[in-house]
Amino acid sequence: MSRKRVAILISGRGSNMQALIEAAKASDFPAEIVGVLSNRAAAPGLATAASQGIATASLAQSKFPSRDMFEDIMTQTLESWDVDIVCLAGFMRILGEDFVNHWAGRMINIHPSLLPLYRGLHTHERALADDAKVHGCTVHFVTPGLDEGAAILQAEVPVLPGDTPDTLSARVLIEEHRIYPEALRMLASGEIAPL
Ligand code: GAR
C-alpha cells in the first residue's frame, strides 16, 4: 500500500495534530504525517511534532510583504515535503483563494461546530448563547468560502445544563480527535473522492 503523504498546518496546541499522528502509526493507516507547518513559532504543537521526529516549519505571515507571498512559500514548503494531502488542525488564519484552489480536494479542516452552524470563531460561546441542545464538530473540504466546503464527517455532542465554553469545548474536542483521523483515512484511502 502506498501511503498518502500528509502535512498538518497548526497555530497552537496541536491536539488534533497529535490525534492524526497517533492514527498514522497504525501500519494499515493509508497516510503518513510527513511535516507540520505553523504560522506561529511559539505554537506548542511544533515542539510536540519535532520531538517525534517529524519535519517542522514555522512561517510568520508578518515577515512577508503580502499574504500571497506568504502562501506561496507555504506551498513551496509543502511541496518540498512532497505532500499529497493538507490537514488544517487549528490553523487560525484565513487562507487566500489561490492557496485554497491550489490544494482543492486535497485540503481538509476540522471545525468545532456542526457546520453550517457557527462558521468562524467562538463557536462554543455562540452555541451556549443560543441555548443550543446539540453541538459538535465537522471535518470538511476547504474551499475559498470560510468553513463552507462539503462536510466529510460530523459528530454531535449534547449541551448539558451548566456547561461553560470550556466544558463544552472539552466534550467536543474528544469527538474531534475521533472523527479527524477517520476523515483523513477516508480521503487517503480513496473511499471518498476529492472534490
Ligand atoms: C480545535 O478545537 C479546532 O477545531 C479549532 O481549533 C482548535 C485547535 O485545537 N479550529 C478552529 O476553530 C478553526 N476555525 P488543537 O490545536 O488542540 O487541535
Give residue-wise pLDDT tens across range 166-182.
999 999 999 999 999 99
Helical spans, DSSP H, in 81-140: 97-102, 123-129
Q: What's the pLDDT band for 46 if we cut at 50, 70, 90?
A: very high
List domains and CATH numbers for the chain. 4-189 (3.40.50.170)
pTM for the complete prediction?
0.98
Q: What's the pLDDT band for 158 if we cut at 50, 70, 90?
A: very high
Q: Which residues contact 191 (CB under 8 A, 6 or more apart)?
A: 185
Which residue, judged by its Cα, is nearest atom 12 of ligand 1? 111
The amino acid that residue 122 corresponds to is H
Per DSSP, the residues of 12-52 read S--HHHHHHHHHTTSTT-SEEEEEEEES-TT-HHHHHHHTT
Which residue, judged by its Cα, is nearest atom 8 of ligand 1? 90
- Mean residue pLDDT of the chain comes to 97
Cα 52 to middle of ligand 1, angstroms: 21
The amino acid that residue 187 corresponds to is L
Comparing CA positions, the residue from 117, 129, 180 lying closest to residue 159 is 129
Give catalytic status of residue 111 as yes or no: yes
**Is any ligand 1 atom within 6 A of the Cβ of residue 90?**
yes
pLDDT at 193: 85
> Tens of pLDDT along 105-143?
999 999 999 999 999 999 999 999 999 999 999 999 999
**Is any ligand 1 atom within 6 A of the Cβ of residue 136?**
no
Q: Is the C-alpha dihedral spanning 23, 101, 195, 190 positive or negative? A: negative
Report, as an integer, the average pLDDT of 140-168: 97
pLDDT at 195: 66
